[in-house]
């Protein structure tokens, strides 16, 4: 799979206060560098694509807030403007980000990966991703005809045993009874 031109680095959850700040869910391992004052990110859509106009947003301020960051952008002067950003993604050009380490994967690469059990039994294919309060979740389309539909698996260290980027396979150890 080829790396897209832009990579998701955050998602605007909601407006905060009256000065145009937004609560950002961080989707990067380097939030201090990416959301540093003066840095630029690109506006994305609610589906994670780059916005058609490739609008730049310049970080005015950023600080820790709950499980994410409270970010002010120069182009977002007040709460009314901030409300328009709810649910939209923030992106950076892939060339500006370091390649993921061997044990890391970009979020966008997870869709379409095969999901297996440690025994080699195929669970299914990752169809969609969800940002839940518990963390990132994989919506996996079941491969077995007697278990139609999908199953939701958390993408965490308890459930995901390994990810092979080259083979595009995620090995999972789901909680007992989840796949039955």
CA–CA dist 69, 81 (Å, integer): 18
CB 170 within 8 A of CB 110: yes
CA–CA dist 109, 118 (Å, integer): 21
Q: What is the pLDDT of residue 2?
A: 60
Instruction: Please provide the average confidence, as pLDDT, over all residues in the chain.
Output: 89
Compare 97 and 39 and report the one with higher pLDDT: 39
Band of pLDDT at residue 1, cut at 50, 70 and 90: low
What stretch of H or E contains 79? helix 79-83
Q: What is the pTM of this model?
A: 0.70
For 93-137, write each residue's pLDDT tens digit: 988 887 777 767 877 788 899 999 999 999 999 998 887 777 788
Q: Is the pLDDT of residue 84 over 60?
A: yes
Which domains are delineated in the chain? Answer: 6-96 (2.40.30.60), 109-172 (2.30.30.240)
């Amino acid at each position: 799979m080829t790396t897209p031109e832009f990579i998701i680095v955050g998602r605007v959850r909601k407006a905060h206060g009256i000065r145009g700040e937004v609560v950002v869910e961080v989707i990067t391992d380097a939030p201090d560098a990416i959301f540093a004052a003066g840095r630029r990110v690109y506006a994305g859509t609610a589906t994670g694509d780059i916005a058609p106009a490739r609008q730049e947003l310049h970080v005015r301020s950023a600080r820790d807030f709950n499980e994410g960051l409270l970010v002010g952008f120069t182009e977002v002067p007040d709460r009314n403007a901030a409300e328009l950003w709810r649910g939209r993604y923030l992106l950076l050009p892939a060339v500006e980000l370091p390649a993921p380490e061997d044990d890391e994967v970009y979020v966008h690469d997870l869709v379409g990966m095969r999901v297996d059990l440690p025994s080699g039994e195929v669970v299914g294919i990752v169809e969609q991703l969800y940002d839940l309060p518990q963390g990132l979740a994989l919506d996996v389309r079941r491969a077995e005809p007697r278990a139609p539909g999908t199953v939701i698996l958390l993408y965490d260290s308890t459930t995901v045993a390994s990810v092979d980027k080259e083979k595009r396979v995620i090995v999972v150890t789901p909680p007992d009874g989840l796949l039955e």
